[in-house]
Structure 1
């Protein structure tokens, strides 16, 4: 039955996760994004526009789609072409801004911060109920290491429109981390606050476990004896309780319904194996099937290879 069939599923990177419409669009763009003809540009723009117009008001799904499209289109002419042709289209503007931020993450700098900020604000003006221009602006503010007063102001704009926006919470978690100018204490305070307020199946529910995996990785990065006993991190009360809560509820049928649920399940499987809780990890891998997310698996090398190796360890003997 289940575990054996799960093990036979070919692992693959799938940024769209289980969003079939987004997956179809990405496949369609593969053959056309490398050409610069007017016809292919118009076709791609029409396809992207159609997808982003689906499910109005489903901000969680919209955020996921914009995030994936922006990452996919880094280096492509399409977002700029669309925004240039339709400067009054909020979808075009926010996709262009989000793509610029994604490219800046890869390059280490933003070419035109003021222009990107203006694009986000214009999109927010055109679509005042939409949180995604503010999510893009939050990611930009984090990248630019803007003062906390400015960042929290943008953060509040997101929450006013989408209380549990997953990307916003993860951006804030990273912004408050020691790696980006914050501190471990600020991370702990942030996680403590959200643990008390966030519904158990909210789109941002993975933030707490993300913080624990980040801390685990920081221990591994130190090397030496600390890295050798990094597994002990998962025996600490806060880490063990975070893992317990996720392992108990996330794989229950229908519990997680947000667009990036499979990404959170990848995170859970990774953490369970890191904590040597392989029996629990088996059920998570069964639910995941072969859908692999780059993070956190890429911390150990090629994400698909790491996923496959870890899945084999978890399911050995079943």
Structure 2
């Protein structure tokens, strides 16, 4: 991963994180997608194809880039138009499927993601080695609460192609969570199994900490006395150990190299600030982040940029 300079910079939401080429493409798309012409579709499709074709076997970065593009193009005519014009393009099919999932999730209408299933299967047939159609299909399974046998069937297809796919692991974490019909026990079993097998710097290394942050937020969300003492969550053995395992390794230059390393570092900074006695450990994490902010988990407390800025100031008081 190309870490940003430790020099403090203006805080900003940057979905591309430190992927500068993806950032340039987003700026270009912001300008060119306004016209809505056939020529614009062709131009944008060519730009996206060029970017996604740079490292065709880097599934981690491909997943990140398509996910960001899908979020950016949600509500745009482009993904549908491109898929219609190039029905054998795996890039076009997967991007269209991912935007349909994003739209269905945002609108709370899981049935609207049904079209994505066909798109994913067509993309998988076109590009059999590519895990991203299966990652999107797993998101459909989560959104529509497919039966466990079906969901795990898709899950196994992802793992066969990209063993440590970050997005797929987070989707499964959500599918198994108590908020979506699973249970806390299922989450613990999933995390324990993963931790026993994965490298410490795998792209999905943040799953365990994500599970702990989700549980912490669930306690906060209950309100009342439980919310007042929610910080005690981080003194419990499992939560404290999850932080211990990553607090001093993740910020080291070159340790995390996956496409969404900065997102995991945002998660770490947030968790360290939530644990009252570990705030000073957050200071070097903020230095590495260089002001690049992810909406989650900061937005759970209010405006993400405001929450990040306030946390960074608290972490560096007296240093």
Tell me the TM-score normalised to structure 2 length: 0.96
Q: What displacement does 1:33 show?
A: 1.8
Unaligned runs of 5+ in 2: none
Listed one character per residue, the Cα deviations across residues 257-286 of structure 1 (whole Å, up to 9, x for unaligned) are 000000000000000000021110000000
The 1-side partners of 2:112 and 2:168 are apart by 22
Match of 2:282 in 1: 281
Matched, 1:300 2:301: yes
Q: Which residue of 1 aligns with 2:191?
A: 191
Structure 1 residues 257 and 6, CA gap change in structure 2 (3 angstroms) = closer
Name the CA distance, whole Å, in 2 between partners of 1:33 and 1:233: 46
Cα distance between partner residues in 2 of 1:37 and 1:275: 52
1:162-311 aligned within 5 A: 162-276=162-276, 277-311=278-312
Which whole-Å deviations, capped at 9, do the CAs of 1:204-256 have from their partners, x for residues lacking one? Answer: 00000000000000000011111111110000001000001110211122110
The answer on 1:155 being equivalent to 2:165 is: no
- The Cα of 1:34 is off from its aligned counterpart by 2.5
Deviation at 1:110, TM superposition (A): 3.9
Query: What is the distance in 1 between the residues matched to 2:7 and 2:229?
Result: 29
SS in structure 2 opposite 1:196?
helix
Q: Are positions 1:55 and 2:55 aligned together?
A: yes
Helix, strand or coil at the partner of 1:145: coil
Q: How many residues end up aligned between the 2 structures?
A: 314
Q: Does 1:146 align with 2:146?
A: yes
Per the alignment, residue 70 of structure 2 pairs with 70
Question: SS where residue 32 of structure 2 aligns?
Answer: coil
Q: Please name the residue that 1:40 is paired with.
A: 40
Residue by residue over 1:283-310, the C-alpha shift from the partner in whole angstroms, topping out at 9 and shown as x without a partner, is: 0000001100010001011111111111
Partner residue, 1:125? 125
The residue matched to 1:249 in structure 2 has which SS?
Answer: coil
Tell me by how many angstroms 1:32 deviates: 1.9
Identify the residue that residue 137 of structure 1 maps to in structure 2. 137
Give structure 1 stretches of 5+ with no counterpart: none
Once the two structures are TM-superposed, the CA of residue 16 in structure 1 deviates from its matched residue by 0.2
Q: TM-score, normalised by structure 1?
A: 0.97
CA pair 251-227 structure 1, distance change in 2 beyond 3 A: same
1:86 aligns with 2:73: no
Maintained 8 Å contact 2:94/2:136 = yes
1:7–1:311 CA contact under 8 A, matched in 2: no
Structure 1 Cα separation of the partners of residues 31 and 71 of structure 2: 17
Distance 1:182 1:121, change over 3 A: same
The Cα RMSD (Å) is: 1.2
Asked if 2 retains the 8 angstrom alpha-carbon contact of 1:138 and 1:151, the reply is yes
Report the CA distance between 1:113 and its aligned residue.
4.0
Residue 111 (structure 1) shift: 5.2
Inter-CA distance 280–96: structure 2 relative to 1 (3 Å threshold):
same
The CA deviation string for residues 69-106 of structure 1, in whole angstroms up to 9 with x for no partner, is 00111000110011000001111000000110011110
Give the Cα separation in 2 of the matches to 1:130 and 1:241.
35
Report the more deviating stretch, 27-36 or 181-190.
Answer: 27-36
Are the counterparts in 1 of residues 104 and 112 from structure 2 also a CA contact under 8 Å? Answer: no
2:17 corresponds to:
17
- Partners of 2:240 and 2:112 lie apart in 1 by 43
